[in-house]
Structures are given as structure tokens and as C-alpha cells.
A and B are shown apart, each in its own frame.
Chain A
Amino acid sequence: MARAALPAVPPALRWLLLAALLLQLGWQAAHKPPPPQAQDLPPPPSLATLQLASLGEPQALSKLTMLYVQGFDEQAGLSIAWRKMDYGRIRQWLERALELDPRSQYPLLAASEVYGAVNDPPRVRLMLDFVYARFAEDPNRRWPWLAHAALVAKHRLHDLPLARQYARALRLQATAPEVPPWARELEAFILEDMNETEAARVLIGGLLHSGQITDPHELAFLARRLDALGTQQRQP
């Protein structure tokens, strides 16, 4: 439909439109949002609820769930220390994300490399236990995270029996040809007198060499983790 030229609009209506626009802009500009307040991570909905809400797109919802959980330590400009977060809830959310998309590696990476990096042994154990508990469901795909968990158990928790338990599970269950031999031989590395940076270099270097990691964000993340470990080692 063709539209008449601007003069066809009554002047009062033009002024009304302009005034309404200015009022709206003024209202929003004057209306400052309340200062951000840290909120606790709520308990996750049941798996059935999430499946219904996904409308048959569980993979998409799983990945969005991960972003939601990930966003909780950076809420509206507030950085919340991991040691203040409820790790029980985090674990429940990670479990839901993994149940929605069992092929996804994201929840296990987050547990092992992100939330497992907290400087609080009980919380670290919770995350490592999550990785170990879910490893047996798909060992040939999930082995990198248990390998990392074994190193964390040895170097940060100083719990050699736990590290050997994880390494043994790797040797016995991750038996597919695509799993590199060094992963099954991790038990030997665990027993060697190797420091954490060296061990992490072996693990991450092995992962890169085997071509298992191709995502550029994950590569950058692992490189940063390696640098951070190196810096920690150099500090007296």
C-alpha cells in the first residue's frame, strides 16, 4: 500500500509521536537498574521437565544449559569465587546437561578442567567423582577427562590411591583403538616422580598430538591452563 507524504500527518500527531519517543527514552535513561547481587544457582529441573522443555532438541538445550551454568560465576559484572559456589548444585546441573546429550564432552570438561581447578579439596573431589562416575558409561569417548582427573588427584589432592584408581579404570575400560596407548599407561606416569606441570604437559601434549582436540576455544583454554600451571611452578 502506498503511503502519503509526511504533511498528510496532522502536526499534533507528529508531536505526540515525538513526545512519546522522548518520554520512553527518558524513562529508560532515568531508570537505573538495581546493583547486581549474587544469586545462588537454583536446583536443576528434573530430566523429564528439561526433555519436555527442549521440544525434541535435547542437544541444543544441553549446550545452552552449560552456558547458563557457566554464566553463574560471572553474574552481571560480579565475579563469584568458585569456592563460594554450591558445588552440589553445579554437579546436578552438569549431570542434567550430560543426560540431555550423552555424546557431549562439555559437562565433563567443565567438571574436570574448570570447576575442578578450585583450591578447595572437598569441591575438587566432588567434581572428580562426577567425572569418574560418568566415565564408565562411555569410556572410549570420556577418557581424557578421567586422565586429567587422575593427575589432579595426584598433584593437587595428593591422593595417590585415588589417582591410581582412576588410572586403572582407564587401563581396563578405555580399550578402543582410537584411545592412545599412553592413556592406558597413565598408571605408570602416576607412579613416576613427575611434577604437575610435566604431567599436564604430557596429557595435553598427548591430546593435541592424537588430534582429539580441534575446537579453537578448547585449545586456547588448555594453553592458558598450561601457562598458569607453569607460572605456579616458577613461583617459590
Chain B
Amino acid sequence: MMPFRPPLLATGWAIARHTVLEAWRNRLLWLLLLAAAGAVLLGGFLNQLALTESRQLQAAVLAALLRLAAVFLMASFAVTSLLREAADKGLELLLALPIPRFVYLLGKLAGLAALAVLPAALFGALALYLAPPEQALLWAASLLCELWIVAAFCLLCTVTLNQVLPALAAAGAFYVLARLIALLQLLGHGPVGAHGLSQRLLNFVLDGIALLLPHLDSFTRTEWLLYQTGTAAALAAIGVQTALFVSLVVAAALFDLYRKNF
């Protein structure tokens, strides 16, 4: 008798659907709405204090806060969801079934990717109120790409580190570094500062890290909303960078997952 083999696509779809369902039960939507309301209130309050550029001030604060809130909620959910599943032995149960490990990981990634549409669409709709539609759309699309990168990196962290705190710390460090790496390079190579051997070594290390990381400072730029400087070419570059980095991170996570003994 042939062993039962569930269809791979249907299995991946089911895992993705359950990831979305879990986010719904974790009140992710409510948290996103709360974050949006908080950012709108704070932006509105600061708007009242400004002597000029009040709308730009509101847009800048709102965009910066919403971007951080989206990334924080997405990363927290991704890490806790995967590690809770591992702690409940749900992961072992799933992997005991005749499904390849990559189906589990890609199913999870698809679920997280679908979830990321929620903050991108919600916060993008708020951006529509503050900027021309094409720029708000660009900003929202870029936020979606940024969230996909963060979600994929959280997957890698959870598979590799297996603990909530180290995984969240690693994801946080990655995010901050990816947003600052271009500036750190600029400062390192700038005219100010030491140019001794240690500085050159540090610059070499920074350049190496910069080659590996996605430069998130070029993603979801507030200036698109303020000064309408976003272009389709910039979004295309962001799309390519997202595809490349997500592929790299997923390959690394799969590499580690296949090496694991449960």
C-alpha cells in the first residue's frame, strides 16, 4: 500500500491560513488599529504646535511612528508565533507527517507575507490622507517589502536561535543595523575621524556587512510623502532587493531546519 502523501501546495496553504488565523486571534488587527490611532493623535497634537509646515510635521511623525509600529508588531508576532508552536510540540507533530520541511517553512512565510499586507494597506490608507495617492501607494508598497524582509529574518532567527528573547534581540539588531548601515559607512569613510589601522579595519568590516544587509534606509522614505520624491524606479529597486534578500534568508533558514534533529 502506498503511504498517504498530502498535496504539498494544499499543506502549505493550510499552514499559511493557520498563521493568519493565529494573528487574528492574537488581536493583531486591534493592535495595528491602536497604533494607527495613537500615531494620528500624536501627529495631530504636534501639528497644533507647529508655526509652519504643520501638515508635513504631522506626515513625518505619523510615517516614522507607523513604520516602526508595523515592524515591531510584525517581528513580535512572527517570533512568538513560531516559538510557541515549537514549545507546544506542534512543529514536531507537523514534521512527523509526510510533508517536506520546506513546505512548513514556506507555508509559514506565506502566512506572514499575507499578514504584512494588513499594516501596509491600513497605514498606506492613512498616508493617502497626507500625500498624493501615487506617493502614498509607493510608501505602502515599500513598507510591505520591508515587512516581508523583517518577517523572513524573524523566521531565520527563530529556526536558528530557538528562544524568544535572543530571536527578538537579533531581529531588532538586524533592523537597526540595516537602517543605519549606509550612514555608518558614510561616517566611517568621511573626512572626520581617525584613519589609522583600526579605523580601516572597522571600515572593512562595515563594508562587508553593508554588502550582506539590505539597505533599509532607502525603503519607505518619509520624504516621498513630504516632498513627492518617490519614483517607480526606486520601488523597482526595492522590489528586487526584497526578492534577493528574502531568498537568501529563507535558504539559510531551510539550511538550518534540514540540519535539525527533532
> Which residues from chain A sit less than 8 Å from chain B, CB to CB?
48, 51-52, 55-57, 59-60, 62-64, 66-67, 70-71, 103-106, 109-110, 114, 215-218, 221
Contacts and interface: CB of A to CB of B under 8 A. Distances in A.
Interface stretch (B44-52, B80-88, B200-208, B236-244): B44-52
Contact of B52 (A64, A71, A221): A221
A130 B53 CA distance: 20
B214 to A, nearest CB: 12
A60 B179 contact: no
B227 A114 contact: no
Contact of B180 (A55, A71, A216): A55
15 contacts: A52-B180, A55-B176, A57-B63, A57-B67, A59-B60, A59-B223, A60-B61, A60-B63, A63-B53, A103-B223, A103-B226, A104-B53, A104-B56, A109-B51, A215-B54
Nearest to A218: B52
Nearest to A67: B49
Interface string B54-67: 11110011011001
A55 B64 CA distance: 9
B158 interface: no
A56 B183 contact: yes
Give chain B's interface secondary structure class: helix
B217 interface: yes
Nearest to B58: A63
B95 interface: no
| Top 3 A-B pairs, shortest CB-CB distance | A218-B52, A60-B60, A56-B217
B56 A63 contact: yes
A70 B180 contact: no
A97 to B, nearest CB: 11
B137 interface: no
Contacts of B49: 67, 70-71
B51 A217 contact: yes
B51 A114 contact: yes
Contacts of B135: none
Given A57-B64, A217-B52, 16 more contacts: A57-B63, A60-B60, A63-B46, A63-B57, A70-B49, A70-B51, A103-B226, A103-B227, A104-B53, A106-B50, A109-B51, A109-B52, A114-B51, A216-B54, A217-B54, A218-B52
B222 interface: yes
A55 B182 CA distance: 11
A218 B183 CA distance: 33
B187 A48 contact: yes
Contacts of B63: 57, 60
A51, A57, A70, A106 interface centre (most CB from chain B within 10 Å): A57
Nearest to B187: A48
Nearest to B218: A56
Interface in B35-50: 46, 49-50
B60 A105 contact: no
Interface in B190-232: 192, 216-217, 222-223, 226-227
A64 B50 CA distance: 9
A108 to B, nearest CB: 10
Nearest to B52: A218
A98 to B, nearest CB: 12
Contacts of A106: 50-53
A141 to B, nearest CB: 11
Nearest to A217: B54
A105 to B, nearest CB: 6
Contacts of B54: 215-218
A63 B52 contact: no
B152 to A, nearest CB: 20
A57 B222 contact: yes
B235 to A, nearest CB: 17
B50 A63 contact: yes
A114 B51 CA distance: 9
A71 B49 CA distance: 9
A180 to B, nearest CB: 19
Interface string B88-122: 00000000000000000000000000000000000
Nearest to B223: A59
A215 B208 CA distance: 45
A66 B55 CA distance: 14
Nearest to B49: A67
B183 A51 contact: yes
A109 B54 CA distance: 13
Interface in B138-196: 176, 179-180, 183, 187, 192
A56 B60 contact: no
